[in-house]
Amino acid sequence: MPGWLKDAVFYEIYPQSFYDSNGDGIGDLNGITEKLGEIRELGCNALWINPCYDSPFRDAGYDVRDYKKVAPRYGTNEDLERLFSRTHDAGIHVLLDLVPGHTSEEHRWFQESRRAEENEFSKRYIWTDGWLTGTPGHPYIAGESERPACYMLNFFKCQPALNYGFLHPIYPWQSAMDSPEALATREAIKDVMRFWLDRGCDGFRVDMADSLVKDDDEDKSGTCALWRDIRQMLDSEYPEAALVAEWSNPRLAIASAGFHMDFYLDHQGNGYNTLMRDYWGKEGDRSFFKSDGKGNIQRFLDDYLPKLEVSRGRGYISFISCNHDTRRPRYSLSERELKVAYTCLYTLPGVPFVYYGDEIGMRYQELKTKEGGYDRTGTRTPMQWKPGKNLGFSEADPEVLYLPVDPAQDAPTLEQAKADPDSLYHLVKKVIAIRHEYASLQADGSFTVLYAEKEKVPFVYARGEGEDRIIVAVNPSLSEASAQIPAGAGEMLFSVGEAAAENAEGSGKGAVLTLGPQSAVILRAAD
């Protein structure tokens, strides 16, 4: 396990929307380098950068045309290597986005694979043995190559599936996992990983990590075996390199496949979804952190605690404020509701991720699709740095921006948030600082629920043991709430709203926490 993950707090950057350093209307790598001080000031000591490889951008860079070349819109390979160097100088680690399940149809591998003449790339992708033979149970394309066959897709039409084999091949055109062609694909992806690790990358976030071996079983045994092999390579050659899975199933991603981290994603009805985004049902918004949402913390715990248990000692669950695929939390939560929510999210076990702009409460925008974004497009708008032209994102004319900035008169900006000591930004900064200061709040600190009842508040939990024990309590409701805790009232490290802790009457009876409406508290428990 890479030791640096224990105290890591990540900042996710969508590069085309972060900061435009050359005035062409699109963010770039040099823009990220220029803003490293801001990221470090917030308290984040690690980055995840969405795909920055050469691409036709039909899926915002998740259709890779060349794994080993930076997209010209972002700069050059030298710019990325300089970014690695500067981040390391600032004590920041960097994960790149690895897209191993498919490439762009414009990738050189695919252009060779689609030729009628057999060559070394003919089986790099999944092709059938006839132009009238589809791929049962999978999307496919026919009639677009000189090769008389159909090819399988991994997601969009522009993303042919790479061939890692089938768990149990049935048809003659299906490869086994241990076939020469499937192993060659695996080694090609290892080669890509080595290429960037040798140049300063600190690991990878893996896109669609569970999608590699086709027709896998329920436990994804084929795909997990493949990732264990890759993990073995990393452990041997790059022991400090980290892997985080886009999987949201730590029983498989961490315990079986060997990932160091697994994202807790916004899947409808799972525990994470019930905290901030449970607003699609007929019953209205039932999110726990919605002040009038009548949320139920037990729905979160019933899903989360088994996942935490299976990951314990093996890896970390990663909570996200948001990501490039999810509507920003400001879509449904007020700034005060977010303050309570973030106090919780950034003090839970595992390795947390802050999505750029969430620290200032950037809003979700209703926009037309851009580069395959569809309803995700509104979460990918430019970072809002300061009042004025394009909110400080770019000096370009507004009509050439990658996406428009928030047009509202009260659009939040980092400059304004810094000037307001009561802003969401300062809360995030303070909570992250406390997390760094106290080991109990870091990735592997213990987690004990002290008070959680169905459809009741507050939610109270402890991190760590003994004199290092930290207690966190949150009350997202519009009413005062209290709970008794086994520890004595200790030092209050931080609070949102009104909160108090008083020792209960009688020796050894702990303390009573009282939290006002929409409040939260972090305290160091007394023995």
Task: Name all domains of the chain by residue range, CATH numbers in brackets.
Answer: 1-94+350-445 (3.20.20.80), 446-526 (2.60.40.1180)
Rounded percentage of the chain residues whose pLDDT exceeds 90: 93
Residue with tokens 């091949």: 169
- Work out the pLDDT band at 293, boundaries 50, 70, 90: confident
Structure-token pair, residue 180 = 């020469």
Mean pLDDT of 205-221: 98
Instruction: Assign residue 522 a region (left: φ > 0; alpha: ψ between -120 and 50; beta: otherwise).
Output: beta
Comparing C-alpha atoms, which of 41, 16, 51 is closest to residue 393? Answer: 16
d(CA 265, CA 197): 26
- Over the stretch 13-25, which tens digit does the pLDDT of each residue have? 999 999 999 999 9
| pLDDT score recorded for residue 507 | 56
Positive or negative CA dihedral for 482, 485, 487, 492?
Answer: negative
pTM higher than the cut 0.85:
yes
Q: Determine how many CB atoms are found less than 10 A away from the CB of residue 81.
A: 16
**501 pLDDT above the threshold of 90:** no
CA distances 301 to 72, 297, 315, Å, are 45, 6, 19
Annotate 298-323 with DSSP letters as a single string. Answer: HHHHHHHHHHHHHHTTT-EEE-BS--
Contact 502, 510 (CB under 8 A): no
- What is the phi/psi pair of residue 465, to 5°? -135, 160
- Work out the pLDDT band at 508, boundaries 50, 70, 90: low
Structure-token pair, residue 167 = 């768990």
- Over the stretch 457-482, which tens digit does the pLDDT of each residue have? 999 999 998 888 999 999 999 999 99
| pLDDT score recorded for residue 509 | 74
**185 pLDDT above the threshold of 70:** yes
Report the DSSP beta bridge partners of residue 13.
49
| pLDDT score recorded for residue 316 | 98
Mean pLDDT for the chain overall: 96
Contact 168, 215 (CB under 8 A): yes
Residue 458: asked if its preceding bond is cis (omega within 30°), the reply is yes
d(CA 32, CA 19): 6
| pLDDT score recorded for residue 503 | 84
- Over the stretch 75-105, which tens digit does the pLDDT of each residue have? 999 999 999 999 999 999 999 999 999 999 9
3-state SS, residue 79:
helix
Annotate 229-259 with DSSP letters as a single string. Answer: HHHHHHHHH-TT-EEEES-S-HHHHTTTT--
Structure-token pair, residue 510 = 């702990």
Q: What stretch of H or E contains 84?
A: helix 77-89
- Work out the pLDDT band at 433, boundaries 50, 70, 90: very high
Mean pLDDT of 226-232: 98
- Over the stretch 414-423, which tens digit does the pLDDT of each residue have? 999 999 999 9
Helices (H), 312-445: 335-345, 414-419, 424-437
CA 139, 145, 149 angle in degrees (round to 5)?
Answer: 60
